[in-house]
Structure 1
């Protein structure tokens, strides 16, 4: 009985010892990073439509709140020396894109944007804030523009014998409703709003890419470009894949040997 008690006591002490060692390691990691410098590149995904919804089984959303949280974690972690944005997105909400761009612009650590299949519209806006942009030769890049889509189903409703009535307070309250067409005044109003967003987009790209506004206007117009074409017109900086972008980011933080923490997979792995 006494022997069992001794083993039990030793087991408890051993367990506490392991816990103490783990706590000590966790406490010393930040101190080690302060002495030796950062040793990790964080890879943050920007995948799917940019917007405020939540991802589901069939739809992937790049949510600015989730993105901001990942950017904050990477910037506050002393072990992380640089960030790679792993972009595969057709764009989405301009407001959500602007929020994400703000986080990129305010990053305290070097940021490299890597465009895989697509980095268009609001997704390109986000990428433009990075220190450098890398894309594959066949990537789709750019599409600097704004679109507003409305439907006029008034003729369809008539054929179906459907009468729709609306009682509004305000002349423009049902503007864009699908049971009637837009008036000339409404079309002009919406065009002015779209033009304002478009000009803002152009100014953002011009500032972030160190280009003139007139030049960006010339190459914008909602045009998509291949990665090779985008390189030729200064919308990106280099051609390459994900590994190349990670290596580039590590070099910007003077890391000759580094680990990679991929927020998209939740996995960390070693790199050279």
Structure 2
């Protein structure tokens, strides 16, 4: 056997050994990655399950208190819409519990909201008026902090009295519905829109089709009808306290400072929640009856559970919004 052949055979064995070593290393890395992914998924499932088990979907505050009574607080914070914290279900549930509590001397709606759905706002407005009539001994006060606009003011107008800070933003009694028009953009891109409907006006809010004048007029009529309902409810709730119900800009959608709102009769006084409880109600002991988000709710929201809903709102497929 020649030396050259032996050298070749030796090199071949070395390469095979090196190849086996590299393959073993790769397999070990793959196993390590798989186990790493497994344990990460297991940890995620464990934490998710713990949140699901130990955190109810929503919880309501309002435990029994010592003393003779308390002023109930209900937060109306953020967008007023279905499945939001300030939904009609949540606010109405809190209201009923507060009214039914034997120690409740009065109820304060602490409002910081830009408004939202006219339907949700209307539900809350009607329920406040019904509960006030049923429990005439318990007064309802609305206290506007930073913002009490649109649907939030709609709700406030059902209260016995409204208070705000001198710098609060109050009013915005109007209705809006927004969308976009992408027709020319699609033409420039050479994109053809194909929509199949079984009704002549079924796709009249489609932002990818040209706007038709008769449909624009129809939609404007819907908004004006909703605006009239809003105005009528405010007039019914505020009554003669509105200094000039025929003020040309009172129901134009403008927003006012707390001081301006007081001059217009949109609010009854300037003051905070603690001021109203202490000086107006005469019961400084506050108990929160608001529905509170749990960590699980915040977690699911961060995962983008409402992406589709917000996309529909962005494209103009939602109903009118009180603003």
Q: TM-score range by the shorter chain?
A: 0.7 to 0.9
Contact 1:138 1:226 in 2 (8 A): yes
Separation in structure 2 between the aligned mates of residue 264 and residue 185 of structure 1, nearest angstrom: 45
Separation in structure 2 between the aligned mates of residue 236 and residue 200 of structure 1, nearest angstrom: 20
Q: Secondary structure at the match of 1:236?
A: coil
**Higher RCO (C-alpha 8 Å, min separation 6):** 2
Bigger Rg over Cα:
2
Q: Secondary structure at the match of 2:110?
A: strand
Residue 157 (1) aligns with residue 183 (2): no
What are structure 2's unaligned runs of at least 5 residues? 1-63, 293-323
Separation in structure 1 between the aligned mates of residue 224 and residue 202 of structure 2, nearest angstrom: 21
TM-score by length of 1: 0.76
Residue 222 of structure 1: which of 253, 258, 269 is its match? 253
User: Counterpart of 2:100?
Assistant: 76
Separation in structure 2 between the aligned mates of residue 183 and residue 148 of structure 1, nearest angstrom: 16
Contact 1:84 1:249 in 2 (8 A): no
Separation in structure 1 between the aligned mates of residue 93 and residue 291 of structure 2, nearest angstrom: 16
Contact 1:144 1:201 in 2 (8 A): yes
User: Counterpart of 1:104?
Assistant: 128
Give the RMSD, CA atoms, in angstroms: 2.2
Q: Secondary structure at the match of 2:227?
A: helix
Matched length: 222
Structure 1 residues 217, 243: CA separation in 2 closer, same or farther (over 3 Å shift)?
Answer: same
Alignment of 1:1-272 (within 5 A): 39-54=69-84, 61-107=85-131, 108=135, 109-211=138-240, 214-215=245-246, 218-248=249-279, 250-251=281-282, 255=283, 258-264=284-290
Contact 1:50 1:93 in 2 (8 A): yes
Contact 1:111 1:249 in 2 (8 A): no
Cα offset for 1:249?
A: 5.2
Separation in structure 2 between the aligned mates of residue 121 and residue 243 of structure 1, nearest angstrom: 24
TM-score by length of 2: 0.65
Separation in structure 2 between the aligned mates of residue 217 and residue 39 of structure 1, nearest angstrom: 44
Cα offset for 1:217?
A: 5.7
Separation in structure 2 between the aligned mates of residue 120 and residue 181 of structure 1, nearest angstrom: 33
Cα offset for 1:264?
A: 4.4
Separation in structure 1 between the aligned mates of residue 95 and residue 280 of structure 2, nearest angstrom: 15
Contact 2:193 2:209 in 1 (8 A): no
Separation in structure 2 between the aligned mates of residue 248 and residue 163 of structure 1, nearest angstrom: 65
Separation in structure 1 between the aligned mates of residue 146 and residue 212 of structure 2, nearest angstrom: 40
Contact 1:40 1:81 in 2 (8 A): yes
Contact 2:91 2:291 in 1 (8 A): no
- The worse-fitting range, judged by mean Cα deviation, of 82-91 and 155-164 is 155-164
